[in-house]
Amino acid sequence: MTIGGIIVARGRTSQGKPADNHRGWRLTSAHTSAVVVGILLLTLSVLAGRADIALIGIPGLLAATWAHTTRPTAPPRGNLHEPDGPTTAGELTAALHLTAPHTTADVFHLRINATGHRSTHLALAARPGADADTDERRIALRLSSVRTGPQETFAIDLRGTRHAVWEREADEIRGARRLVLPGAAPLGRLPLPRRLRGLNGPHSSRRLGDGAELRDIHQFAPGDRLRRIDWRTTARRSPELDTLYVRRTYATAEATAVLVVDSRDEVGPDIRTWRGYGTIRVDEPTSLDLARHAAASVAQALVDAGDRVGLEDLARRRRPLPPAAGRRHLRRVVHGLALAHPKERASVHRVRPPQVPADAVVYLFTTVLDDEPLHLVRTWRTKGHPVVVIDTLPDLHPVIENHLWIAWRIARLEREVRLAALADEGVPVVRWAGSERDRAAVRFEALARAAQRHVR
């Protein structure tokens, strides 16, 4: 399947007549120079009466005349082939196929552009085959980037020349917009809610049922299963076997978690790009890239543990992804994370916070640059949901401009006040940027142990 721009012959016009393939070709300055120099030398030879001067100018005129009679009749063709479906972050690949008929250009001039990358210029010989009508060349293209989500890929300008005297206007070959999926980092245990739901799962709940964790030994009662009878305890406590004793265990259940991604804004390490000017570098992740990576890591850890996970996007007013389990649902969550992006308009203010299932733990991925996350956390905690905030603000570059430094100092102080308020209310905050990302697994393990002790 071919994705992206395809440059082919111009086919037919809107009136149904065949298009003129000669259009777009023009003579270069080399042809003009050869004609002018040849005429000047012939004129000089006539005025000076010297035939040797004419012999110097005649080859240039003959070459210009021959080149003019060999005008190309077909444009060069280029097809950009890209892999189907989404890809993962790191490296984007594509293949450019160039086709050169005998009646078209003999040299390809390429200018390969990509957002955030320097332009690359190439000049390739068409090399038409002796026995074939056309010769196809394949050029492998690679684009390195740590960015995720919808990404622009290649934009190629193709221009052909023939015999260095004919050149064609550049045609643009543009690649399709690619969806780059976030990767996932391995995490250990994650904090669980105080109450578990479901009739089966990997965790032991606080209610009676079929499970592996022993609760107590109790006298046989109506409703107890015969396979639960503990004959050793019965023989020890009731030698006459007039009373039976059963082993009662805790039921197994599963945890429910909801990932809430704050995609209302996307900021990079360079504060100068926060105003909407300039281009964010492709080798530096933004806050939304960090949020996608952190959410994908948490989702994979939950699915690996057999728990249920849902997804909610604060910037998109549509139906959220309900909690579910399984590898197929994990792919849906990762795909939804890749589609999260800020709206073009002003930030969206939600009158009501996203609805969260009962007894579910909430993971909020945000930069905490405004008061909206603080309001959401307090609302969820009022309803009894444990909340874990993942700070996705990237490590910022030093600020040189004085006015930007003052603005960031005010924003930083306000952000520190919000983080301090979360800490005072007992809301754990996990930093997910720079070197702190490597210690996130240790932080989650400590939170899981603290939550387990609290439940017990």
Quote the tokens at residue 317. 């007013």
- Compute the distance between CA of residue 428 and CA of residue 424 in angstroms, rounded to an integer: 10
Question: Is 432 within 8 Å of 290 (Cβ atoms)?
Answer: yes
- CA-based angle 51:53:58, to the nearest 5? 90
Please give the pLDDT value at position 211. Answer: 56
With a CB cutoff of 8 Å and minimum separation 6, the contacts of 370 are 347
Token readout for 316 is 């998109």
Residue 203, pLDDT score: 61
Output the pLDDT for position 364.
Answer: 95
Q: What is the pLDDT of residue 311?
A: 94
The token pair at 266 is 């996307």
Match 């209302």 to its residue by tokens. Answer: 264
Type of residue found at 412: R
- pLDDT at position 445 is 84
Ordered domains of the chain (ranges, CATH): 6-11+73-180 (2.60.40.10), 25-69 (no CATH), 203-253 (no CATH), 256-455 (3.40.50)
| pTM tops 0.95 | no
Residue 291's pLDDT is 94
Q: String of b and e for 11-38 (b: at least 16 CB within 10 Å)?
A: eeeeeeeeeebeebbeebebbeebbeeb
CA–CA separation, 95 vs 142, rounded Å? 9
| Residues lower than pLDDT 50 in the chain | 1-21, 130-132, 346, 454-456
Which residues have C-beta within 8 Å of that of residue 198, sequence separation ≥ 6? 253, 254, 308
Which of 154, 66, 171, 153 has the alpha carbon at shortest distance from 108? 171
E-state strands within 268-357: 308-313, 321-324
| Mean residue pLDDT across the chain | 79
